[in-house]
Structure 1
């Protein structure tokens, strides 16, 4: 039995590929032998200099700019056989709110513009590109789109409602719509989503240092394995969904990579006044 991923020489396009998690995803696909295009709004130089890596700058909310970048990617490596829609915006660090009541309308619109409209544009560009190619005659039955959601899309975020709402839209409404749509455009096309829990990024560790109770609240109190998810394991889970050899019959599903997270802490001990209710 051949247990290989069979991702060699496949064209994979990753939006947000220069971010903390995105760069790990890019490196994972390169290690699997794929040709990788990374599209990011502000691409940074990668630590690795790889012959199979093509880095482009584009804003996923700008139709013309993004479509031009996509065409350059196809000119370089051909049909995008796997698209990872990872690019998103989280303004919680820059604009922390205790309540939705404190949030500006401009922030709400900006987050949904990037996370929902930008992901829609990515999916639409992928589907339109597929329409330009002869169906499985030219390429094997192995094209897929992977949407990147979040545990916030399941459980919500009291201090981060814009982000949570955007991820719910992507991993539920958009995913289920594409589930029926994509195979009509390309027979056998698959669309799935991954919903990571708290990920052990440098940003996460910085937040834990600034707020000592953060680690317990986010990665222990409601998490079965009592730990955050590593960036490498998020990347490997995306490779699993990309691999037709491993997940060829997985379609329209959300893969929760969250160490067994079951929800959010509703009230901190301080908010409850350390009292045990007997009423």
Structure 2
């Protein structure tokens, strides 16, 4: 990753934070996007990346932040790791909450990707990796209708972008099962339907992201990769 210039959303915590640290160890120059300014500054200190505090649902603010980073040397990679978990039965979830989940998880992913395209399309070997969920591939538990719909949308968006942006930019999507981050709180014991019988360590997801960003995956685009410990086939 040495010499690569990569944007990472959701960089203040969880998969985004772990991925940022891994990419920094590989020599990437990072633009770190998150709305948690204090935590983001800490990750920026650890990685040498640029802290770009922003709400990814604010299109104008995202465009300015991406411009700030891209203008200093370009962008050839994007990791859309920002997202929120939401649980609630469809009968109980008001439309405002439904919209909030889709706004962050799906529209936010679209906004950041769209804002990055002028930079990504100029670079050879540019790559976008979006983070969806195994719930987007196979919703199989009650209370996830809004979350599953938002992540299913990320999968479809990623495939559509892959078709639209090829061959200049590759686009792939990772679909994790439960990962050992704060987002999994309250669900850590529910792994009996996972072939590997455990949660993922976030570094395992980060390694998959790094692979899809790198030239090692140069013939992969439009893929939805289930990094879920065997949840969706078991």
TM-score by length of 2: 0.92
Counterpart Cα distance in 2 of 1:84 and 1:243? 12
Counterpart Cα distance in 2 of 1:51 and 1:170? 27
* 1:34-113 paired onto structure 2 within 5 Å: 34-43=28-37, 44=39, 45-46=41-42, 49-50=45-46, 52-76=48-72, 78-92=73-87, 97=88, 99-113=89-103
- Match of 1:228? 199
Evaluate the alpha carbon distance shift between residue 9 and residue 164 of structure 1 in structure 2; reply closer, same or farther with a 3 A threshold: same
Counterpart Cα distance in 2 of 1:200 and 1:239? 19
Which of these residues, 5, 8, 16, is aligned with residue 2 of structure 2? 8
Asked if 1:197 corresponds to 2:177, the answer is: yes
Greater Rg by CA = 1
* Shift, 1:35, TM fit: 0.4
* 1:129-148 paired onto structure 2 within 5 Å: 129-130=119-120, 133=122, 139=123, 141-148=124-131
* Deviation per residue, 1:11-53 (Å, 9 max, x gap): 0100111122211010010011100110111231325734631
- Match of 1:118? 108
* Shift, 1:169, TM fit: 0.7
Counterpart Cα distance in 2 of 1:238 and 1:47? 18
Evaluate the alpha carbon distance shift between residue 104 and residue 51 of structure 1 in structure 2; reply closer, same or farther with a 3 A threshold: closer
Find the residue that maps to 1:59 and give its secondary structure. coil
> Unaligned 5+ residue runs, structure 1?
1-6, 134-138, 209-213, 265-279
Which of these residues, 137, 146, 160, is aligned with residue 144 of structure 2? 160
Find the residue that maps to 1:147 and give its secondary structure. strand
- Match of 1:241? 212
* Shift, 1:130, TM fit: 3.7
* Deviation per residue, 1:171-209 (Å, 9 max, x gap): 1x21221121112xxx442000001111112442x415x
Contact 1:12 1:37 in 2 (8 A): yes
Find the residue that maps to 1:25 and give its secondary structure. helix
- Match of 1:251? 221
TM-score by length of 1: 0.78
Find the residue that maps to 1:110 and give its secondary structure. helix
* Deviation per residue, 1:102-143 (Å, 9 max, x gap): 111110011111111111111211223345x4xxxxx4x210
